[in-house]
Amino acid sequence: MKPFRRTTGRVAVLDRADVDTDQLIPKQFLKRIERTGFGEFLFYDWMQDDGFELRRPEAQGAAILLTGRNFGCGSSREHAAWALQDYGFEVVVAPSFGDIFRTNSLKIGLLPVTLPEDDLRALMAEGSGAELTVDLEAQTIGPYGFDFDAFDRRRLLEGLDDIGLTLRHEEEIAAFEAAHPSPIDTRALG
Amino acid sequence: MARTLFDRVWDSHLVAEPEGESPLLYVDLHLVHEVTSPQAFEGLRLAGRRVRRPDLTLATMDHNVPTDDRPADDLAAAQLEALHRNCKEFGVPLYATGSGREGIVHVIGPELGLSQPGLTIVCGDSHTSTHGAVGALAIGIGTSEVEHVLATQTLPQRRPKTMRLELSGSLPLGVTAKDAILGAIGRIGVAGAVGHVIEYAGEVVRGLPMSGRMTICNMSIEAGARAGMIAPDDTTFAYLEGRPAAPQGAEWERALDRWRALPSDPDATYDRVVEIDVRELAPQVSWGTNPGMVVSVDGVVPDPADFEDPAERDAAERALAYMALEPGTPIQEIEVDRVFIGSCTNARIEDLREAAAVVAGMRVHPRVRALVVPGSATVKRQAEEEGLDRVFEAAGFEWRRAGCSMCLGMNPDILQPGERCASTSNRNFEGRQGRGGRTHLVSPSMAAATALAGHFVDVRELALEPVA
Ligand code: SF4
């Protein structure tokens, strides 16, 4: 995974609640078997509209997305996080996130920052195009601090591979398997 | 200490709790489909890893497959082919299209008896929560996590919070499990259960057959929940007994002993408790672009001005613009172009029977194009043995092969821009069933009744009139 420490970049404001992953990346783009190249399909349907927030000149080249609550709700498609990252976003800031989207983002080094509504509103008031620094080490975004799980923080800062981390527990996994014979066998269904 | 069903399943699957890290949970069953797995298998290949437990993994084809004789498009075909190749290379059993056991991943798991009480189940799909209906802890995951489970058979997970959602009273005639869960999401909101595992309880749940319990657990994610669960009971055991993967003989007796010990202790506590009385519940129809935007069939399209919360008002305005609806319009005056009966929410045999009972001897409205898509090849066979296919076809419905079909429109079954659809699926997001398509979520009997009338109708009134 790509490590994340700190970034300074332009902000894009998308002030909508409950933005679902079907909007982030519509299903017709889920047929690809690669992990890259999804950026051009980000918000595909909404992008057709000239007035869409991310089409505005000041939102171009943005690295930080400021958005509404429950961002990334809905489908588990990790393609949504891939598309945001591939488009150029490094950080998404919202009052809350869909659980699976948040996990998917953490897995690929796209930083999901949960910020209280008031602080977020103040940042949004600056508008798209404003410059902002997000520092995971210091846990700050502009003038505000944010909470972050200590383990996730370390994983992101060091760019740790989750599977590698888990495989350090090989002995425990094997011991668990020995003690708990599985009640099912998918190969024995005939 | 008193424990919940969730606590029992969670605690018994902890492999390790490393200091300062997420606990590691053992996965008993990993279900795989074509859309969220190719990059995971590719990841294994690049790292030179194998699938640790192919015997606990099962793949099927559902999202992309055409449900009629049209061919899959090139990209879809390539993705289906990739699943074939990956399963072969990594030794994962696959129920491919035409195998006779294929179907929507959340329909075939329980149907095969693989989804069992007390198990941990994951799948790269948010509606994995469906399997919680048998008393399993079933979690939807993303592709990186799919790769993680393939490689290690474990999942690092932070312990979620628990919510008890008590459905009390009894469902009025014509009001179904689908209405109960839509009503509940309308009440707690689409983010109402974020970070929580919901345990559904109460008289309503106890009285439901497994199909209705699955419908309810299926939509847990639409309230933002990590999972939904229902304590196993005699209904669960009767459902599982004799299924291909269910334990047999002495094993079955031992399994029953284990399963009977799973339900939550009466004095167990939850992080949150919500009680919903369903005695006054009417059939539900969604009017907007998320599953929390629902109203009773005898109601009207709401006025955004009535929402106090600015974010909700804004969302309601956008939703009405997208849906092309005016505030105050009676729901029953809304006309539809398409009806879709299918999806992992409502395409089990019981759902098809419910819909068939409404359409028997009737005709679909001439403007409406209506589709019935069984949830699995097994459901399809069973329905045909019961003659349901003939009931639907005689009424003017198209009868299709198993798949996700128009639930997400990744296959040839899609809405055209501007088309309005009464759908038994679980998501009414913008463009979900096709770009520009307008989705209204309803129960199978409501969808069937709507197909006949050409606009939403109150199925309770149909039920009261003798059908000639
Ligand atoms: S039927 Fe719909 S919700 Fe269910 S798995 Fe298929 S696409 Fe997902």
CATH of the domain at A125: 3.20.19.10
| Residues of chain A with C-beta less than 8 angstroms from the C-beta of B314 | 16-17
- DSSP states along B346-376: S-SHHHHHHHHHHHTT----TT-EEEE--SB
Instruction: Report, as an integer, the average pLDDT of B136-142.
Output: 98
For residue A57, give its domain range: 6-189
Chain A: give the shortest CA distance to residue B286, in Å: 16
- Exposure letters B275-306 (e unless 16+ CB within 10 A, then b): ebebeebbbbbbbbbbbbbbbbbeebbbebee
Instruction: Determine, yes or no, domain membership for A185.
Output: yes
Helix (H) or strand (E) holding B446: helix B444-453
Instruction: Decide: B458 in ligand 1 pocket, CB within 6 A.
Output: no
Which residue has its alpha carbon closest to ligand 1 atom 4? Answer: B344
Among B429, B430, B435, B441, which would you mutate to test the A interface (most chain A Cβ atoms within 10 Å of its Cβ)?
A: B429
Instruction: Report, as an integer, the average pLDDT of A169-183.
Output: 97
Q: How far is CA B256 from the centre of its chain?
A: 26
Instruction: Determine, yes or no, domain membership for A40.
Output: yes
Residue B184 and residue B193: Cα distance in Å, rounded?
Answer: 11
Q: Which of B408, B413, B423, B425 to mutate to test the pocket of ligand 1 (most atoms within 8 A of CB)?
A: B408
Say yes or no for a CB contact (<8 Å) between A17 and B312.
yes
Instruction: Decide: B343 in ligand 1 pocket, CB within 6 A.
Output: yes
Residue A100 and residue A79: Cα distance in Å, rounded?
Answer: 12
On the question of pLDDT at B468 being above 80, the answer is no
Instruction: Report, as an integer, the average pLDDT of B137-152.
Output: 98
Residue B122 is encoded by which pair of tokens?
């994951």
Beta bridge partners of A65: A12, A92
Instruction: Determine, yes or no, domain membership for A1.
Output: no
Report how far apart, in Å, the C-alpha atoms of B55 and of each of A172, A187, B88, B165 are: 20, 6, 13, 34
Q: What is the pLDDT, as a whole number, of residue B270?
A: 98
Q: How far is CA B438 from the centre of its chain?
A: 19
Ramachandran angles phi, psi of B285, nearest 5°? -135, 130
Helix (H) or strand (E) holding B78: helix B74-90
How does pLDDT run across B9-54, given as a tens digit for each residue? 999 999 999 998 999 999 999 999 999 999 999 999 999 999 999 9
Who among A35, A103, A184 is closest to B56 (CB)? A184
In this structure, the strands spanning B154-156 and B24-26 are: antiparallel
Sheet of B398-399: strand order equals B398-399, B369-372, B338-341, B420-423, B438-441
DSSP type of residue B301: P
Instruction: Decide: B404 in ligand 1 pocket, CB within 6 A.
Output: yes
Residue B467 and residue B396: Cα distance in Å, rounded?
Answer: 17
- Inter-chain Cβ pairs, chain A and chain B, closer than 8 A: 200
| Residues of chain B with C-beta less than 8 angstroms from the C-beta of A85 | none
B107: CA distance to ligand 1 center in Å?
10
B390 CB-near residues (< 8 Å, 6+ apart): none
Instruction: Decide: B111 in ligand 1 pocket, CB within 6 A.
Output: no
pLDDT band at B464 (very low <50, low <70, confident <90, very high): low
Residue A34 and residue B68: Cα distance in Å, rounded?
Answer: 28
What does the angle CA B336 – CA B341 – CA B346 come to, to the nearest 5 degrees?
Answer: 130
Domain count, chain A: 1
Residue A83 and residue A110: Cα distance in Å, rounded?
Answer: 11
Q: What is the pLDDT, as a whole number, of residue B467?
A: 41
Instruction: Decide: B62 in ligand 1 pocket, CB within 6 A.
Output: yes
Chain A: give the shortest CA distance to residue B445, in Å: 25
Instruction: Decide: B214 in ligand 1 pocket, CB within 6 A.
Output: no
Is the CB of B427 inside 8 Å of chain A's CB atoms? yes
pLDDT band at A189 (very low <50, low <70, confident <90, very high): confident
Instruction: Report, as an integer, the average pLDDT of A77-84.
Output: 97
Please provide the average confidence, as pLDDT, over all residues in chain A: 96
Contact criterion met (CB below 8 Å) for B195 and A98: no
Is the CB of B99 inside 8 Å of chain A's CB atoms? no
Is the CB of B382 inside 8 Å of chain A's CB atoms? no
Instruction: Report, as an integer, the average pLDDT of B364-386.
Output: 98
Instruction: Decide: B104 in ligand 1 pocket, CB within 6 A.
Output: yes
In this structure, the strands spanning B227-229 and B284-286 are: unpaired
Who among B93, B145, B247 is closest to A183 (CB)? B247
Instruction: Determine, yes or no, domain membership for A51.
Output: yes
How does pLDDT run across B245-299, given as a tens digit for each residue? 999 999 999 999 999 999 999 999 999 999 999 999 999 999 999 999 999 999 9
Who among B191, B431, B432 is closest to A70 (CB)? B191
On the question of pLDDT at A9 being above 70, the answer is yes
Report how far apart, in Å, the C-alpha atoms of B215 and of each of A98, B61, B431, B444, B456 are: 21, 21, 22, 11, 21
Residue B167 and residue B96: Cα distance in Å, rounded?
Answer: 38
Instruction: Determine, yes or no, domain membership for A62.
Output: yes
On the question of pLDDT at B184 being above 90, the answer is yes
Q: What is the pLDDT, as a whole number, of residue A2?
A: 80
What does the angle CA B90 – CA B92 – CA B94 come to, to the nearest 5 degrees?
Answer: 135
Residue B209 is encoded by which pair of tokens?
């057959």
Say yes or no for a CB contact (<8 Å) between A17 and B140.
no
DSSP type of residue B300: B
Please provide the average confidence, as pLDDT, over all residues in chain B: 96
Instruction: Report, as an integer, the average pLDDT of B181-198.
Output: 97
Residue B285: strand, helix, or coil:
strand
Instruction: Report, as an integer, the average pLDDT of A37-54.
Output: 96
Minimum-distance ligand 1 atom for the alpha carbon of B407: 2
On the question of pLDDT at B391 being above 90, the answer is yes
Residue B17 and residue B14: Cα distance in Å, rounded?
Answer: 7
Helix (H) or strand (E) holding B80: helix B74-90
pLDDT band at A98 (very low <50, low <70, confident <90, very high): very high
On the question of pLDDT at B466 being above 50, the answer is no
